[in-house]
Amino acid sequence: MKINVVESVLKANDAVARENRRRMDAAGVLAINIMSAPGSGKTALLEKTIPALKPEQLCAVLVGDLQTTRDAERLEGNAASITQINTGRGCHLSATQVAEGLDSLDLKGIDFLFIENVGNMVCPAAVDLGEHLRAVLLSVPEGDDKVAKYPTLFQPASVILLTKVDLLGLLDYERDKVYEDVSRVNTSAPLIELSPKTGQGMDRWLAWLQEQRRQRAIEQNAS
């Protein structure tokens, strides 16, 4: 009997992911899986995003890292509920880890669940966590060739965020190349240039989040 181990692992993962999605739909939560290389600014983005949402909107965060609780500590005080998942040697979050994380969060009244994945441009894209949407970050200092080199990360993105654009003038960076490469792999995701540091582009990102929240509420009410 031929057994494809990778495929069966992913199949088991997908069943848990479906259950995660069902739980989040039941709670009326919009879940966003945030993915990028290490250091692209996922945590920095959340530090600025959560306080900028509407005052009545509550956020929960699951943050994945191999070690340390540093990112959770950075976000403490911002989110209503936050859980750090240490993956040890694991280079991506799994649906099971997210399910355990959901057990530790109080989802009641939560509008947005941000899942900060382990910094990695390869395997997180292949693993469904039960999220509704995927935000993929690409920071200017990483270079303008990353979309072409790691297309599988950008293909399933719901939104692509070009971060640290405040550094554009300091580096040799061909922004047009990024737009061209994105247009080859993903024609539906908006590409938003932003800098959490200067605030540039944050309004567009926040408006995108609110529009997704609005659409999710309509779909969750209809089902």
Which is nearer to Zn ion, 66 or 148 (by Cβ)? Answer: 66
Which is nearer to Zn ion, 10 or 123 (by Cβ)? Answer: 123
The binder of 43, among Mg ion, Zn ion, none, by C-beta within 5 to 8 A per type, is: Mg ion
**Candidates 71-79, 86-94, 105-113, 154-162 — which segment interacts with Mg ion by CB under 5 A?**
71-79
Which is nearer to Zn ion, 58 or 153 (by Cβ)? Answer: 153
Which is nearer to Zn ion, 10 or 52 (by Cβ)? Answer: 10
The binder of 117, among Zn ion, Mg ion, none, by C-beta within 5 to 8 A per type, is: none
- Does residue 43 belong to the site contacting Mg ion (CB under 5 A)? yes
66 neighbors 89 (Cβ within 8 angstroms): yes
Q: Are β-strands 81-86 and 159-163 bridged in parallel, bridged antiparallel, or unpaired?
A: unpaired
How far apart CA 45 and CA 137 sit, in angstroms, is 10
113 neighbors 30 (Cβ within 8 angstroms): yes
For 76, other C-beta atoms within 10 Å of its C-beta total 11
The binder of 71, among Zn ion, Mg ion, none, by C-beta within 5 to 8 A per type, is: Mg ion
- Does residue 71 belong to the site contacting Mg ion (CB under 5 A)? yes
Written as six digits, the tokens of 136 are 């993929």
Written as six digits, the tokens of 9 are 């692992």
**Candidates 36-44, 105-113, 122-130, 146-154 — which segment interacts with Mg ion by CB under 5 A?**
36-44
Number of residues that bind Mg ion (CB under 5 A): 3
Task: Tell me which residue of 48, 97, 34 sits closest to 83, measured CA to CA.
Answer: 97
Task: Tell me which residue of 142, 139, 137 sits closest to 153, measured CA to CA.
Answer: 137
Q: Which residue is nearest to Mg ion (CB)?
A: 43
How far apart CA 23 and CA 19 sit, in angstroms, is 6
Site for Zn ion in 78-117 (CB under 5 A): 91-92
Task: Tell me which residue of 40, 24, 20, 171 sits closest to 94, measured CA to CA.
Answer: 20
- Does residue 52 belong to the site contacting Zn ion (CB under 5 A)? no
Which is nearer to Mg ion, 34 or 162 (by Cβ)? Answer: 34
Q: Residues interacting with Zn ion, by CB under 5 A?
A: 91-92, 123
Q: Residues interacting with Mg ion, by CB under 5 A?
A: 42-43, 71
